Structures are given as C-alpha cells and as structure tokens.
Amino acid sequence: MGADSLTLMDILDINQFQELQDSLSISTDMALLTVDYKGIPVTEHSECRNFCKMVRKNIHYQDLCQKCDSRGGLEAARQQKPYIYICHMGIVDLAVPIIAEGGYLGAMMAGQVRIDDDSMLEMILNRKSELLSLYDSSDSESFKSIDEINTLYSELPIMGYDKIEAIGKVLFGMSKVLVDRALLIKKTTIPIIEVAKVESDRKSQNVISRRNTIKTEIPTKYVFLKPAIEFMHQHINDKVYLEEMAILCNVSESYFSKCFNKAFDMSFTAYQMKLKLQMAENLLKQSTKNVNQISDELGFDHASYFIRVFKKTFGVTPAMYKQLYIEKTQLEYKNQYNQ
C-alpha cells in the first residue's frame, strides 16, 4: 500500500476520531480541527473560539484561515514535527502533521490562543495592520463593530510557548500511534486473492515504457507541491499553467518553479509533457484512436507537434510505435499458442 494511495479516511474513523478530538480540545484548552493536505476540514471544529467563529463568517477571511491551515500543515510535514506559528489574525496556532508511509495526509490544527512573547514565531500569512480592514458594510456576515472583534480577541486564553510545544509533542505522538495501528490493521486484513492479483498485475504490466517514466514521489522538503502534482495527473488532457499551480500551492511562481525543478529533476513544462506522452503511449497500446484523435484529446495544438515530441522521446513516430506494439503482441500470442 503506497503512501500516494492513502487518505485520511483510510487512517481515521472520522466519527470516532471526532469524539477523541473533542476530548483533547477540552483537556488541552485549545481549539482543534483536522484537515487534509489541502487544508480542507475533515472533522468539525472542536471548541472553536468565538473570535475565530466570527472571523470565519467573513468569506475573504475564511479563505485565509484555510490557507493558513494548509501552509501550517505543509510546513509541519516538511519539518517532520509540530509547527507553531502565528496565523493571519495574529493568534497562535499549532500544526501537527499526520504522516503515513512517508506521505503527508493532513494535519491536526490546534490553537486559537494568545502568547505573551511571539517574537520567536513566524507569521504564516501577511495580514492587514488594522483590524478595521475586517469591517465591510456590504457584507452582511461581517463584523458589526471593531469593538466587538477586539473584545472577542481579548477573551482568547493566553498560553506559554513551552506548554504549546508540549501539547504539540503529545498530539504528534498520538497521531503516529493512530497511523501505525490503522496501517497494521489494513495490512493484516488484505484478502489473499487481492495480494495475488496485485502480484499478477505487477508481473504482467507492460504499459509504460521505462524511458518515459517520471518521478512521482515528492521529497518531504517539497511536500507543498502535492496539490499541483495531483491536479496535473487528474487533468492530463488540459493545458495546466504554472501560474495556476503556484496559486494552488500558495507560493510565488518563481519559488514554485525553482522547487519543482529540484524535486523532480526537470522543469514544470517538461513534467507536464512527459505526463501527456505517457498517456499517449497508453492510448496507442490500449485504444483504437488514431494519431490525430490522440493529439486532440491530449490538448496538443497540432498533430505535427505531437508527432515530433513523441518521436524525440521514443525514437519512432506514434503510428510506427502502434504498429510495432501490435506486431509484438501478435508474436507473443503466437508463441504462447504454439507452446
């Protein structure tokens, strides 16, 4: 079972975990929320503070809250340990990564507290210098007054850094136990027939040429690229732009491009092209579609360009590749039949 195929739903019984999360929230005096690697909640908020409830009513700030959760979790995964930071609203949060078989699945987000000295903490997103920027008379869900939000902010509990750090260590240890237990249960309950099928598929798979295989494992240091990689694999037929992927990963275009090169030993454009050629190879082997149809389906502007880049990678044109594959398959079948 590879890390790429796992999700939080495979690791956690959400209903049972919600009860555990609620209890942990009360015992730690911290609000708790569990999110996937994109920062999208998979549990209900436990003991969410009134301050944060009001902030999240504002659509714009709700989006920033999710970005904070996403970035905090990714940074915790990169460091392989709990990450304490200041959110865009100036309060302290704690991200505890949930990691299974080397893959980052999500995080437990704890916090919604204040701290006396935040000089050692990083602000994960820039925020407006004035809380008045939150007020928008055109938004019926906005705050009624700056005094109201200031009052709710002052009600947030103050907690020492050492205690926050200790809670992070406890939650991180607990997440490891939960993950190990879930993986052990799954590995010991896989039906024998499924194991046999996997082994058979592994031996018989001949679909992807080795010369066009691409690196899919994301180094932990660059785990924040995961949303982009997942999106690219799901939209092979579309034109995917670097700018869009940088936004999806909440980083600048230049930083995204630099990290992508280091993570996969090729540029974003080259990676996308290899994905398309990989799919083209599959279609040539497994479908009756002609070269023009495949070129159109994969989003190439011209079939001539598709033929040129395919030949550069595989040494033959798509049409010749298909013919050679048919001949090879027929020969293998004939040899098998004669035996």
Picking from 82, 80, 70, 77, the residue whose alpha carbon sits closest to that of residue 30 is: 82
Maximum mean pLDDT: which of 11-15, 132-136, 199-203, 263-267: 263-267
CB atoms within 10 A of CB 272: 21
pLDDT-derived band at 123, boundaries 50, 70, 90: confident
pLDDT-derived band at 338, boundaries 50, 70, 90: low
Rounded to a whole number of angstroms, the CA Rg of the chain reads 25
Cβ(156)–Cβ(113) under 8 Å?
yes
Q: Which domains does the chain have, with CATH numbers?
A: 3-184 (3.30.450), 206-338 (1.10.10.60)
pLDDT-derived band at 26, boundaries 50, 70, 90: very high
Per the listing, tokens 């002052």 go with 154
Q: What is the pLDDT of residues 169-206, one digit of tens each?
A: 999 998 888 888 777 666 544 343 343 333 334 433 34
Q: Which of 18-27, 50-59, 258-267, 326-335 has the lowest mean pLDDT?
A: 326-335
Is 70 exceeded by the pLDDT of residue 239?
yes
Burial of 131 (C-beta count, 10 Å sphere; 0-12/13-18/19+)? middle
pTM for the whole structure: 0.58
